[in-house]
Amino acid sequence: MNIRLKDRILVMLSSFFYGVLGYFFTGSLWWFLILAAALLFVGIGGKKHV
């Protein structure tokens, strides 16, 4: 079962939030790899675990 559009948007928003939060506290842009992983997850279509 693929994830809904609302869930895809929430995944992207939360990963962007964690990327900005990590950058703010550490100053490292490596935190935005979370955003890249989320883009990959959403691009593939993602699967629900339940």
pLDDT in tens, 36-48: 998 888 888 777 6
Distance CA(14)–CA(40), nearest Å, equals: 14
Q: Under a CB-based contact definition with an 8 Å cutoff, are residues 1 and 44 in contact?
A: no
Please report which helix (H) or strand (E) contains residue 22, including its range: helix 5-26
Give the pLDDT of residue 8.
87
pLDDT score, position 2: 75
pLDDT in tens, 16-35: 999 999 999 999 999 999 99
